[in-house]
Amino acid sequence: MPNYVIYPKRKATEEQVQKVRQDILDKGGRIGQEDSLTGGICITFDYDEDIIKPFYKHPLIARVERNSEFATV
Task: Pick out the chain residues at pLDDT < 70.
Answer: 1, 70-71
| Residue 69: predicted pLDDT | 73
Task: Looking at the structure, give the CATH architecture of the domain made up of residues 4-66.
Answer: 2-Layer Sandwich (3.30)
67 backbone φψ class: left, alpha, beta (φ>0; ψ -120 to 50): beta
Q: b/e for 17-50, b at 16 or more Cβ within 10 A? A: beebbebbeeeebeeeeeeeeebbbebebeeeee
Element of type H or E holding 19: helix 14-26
| Residue 31: predicted pLDDT | 93
* pTM of the predicted protein model: 0.80
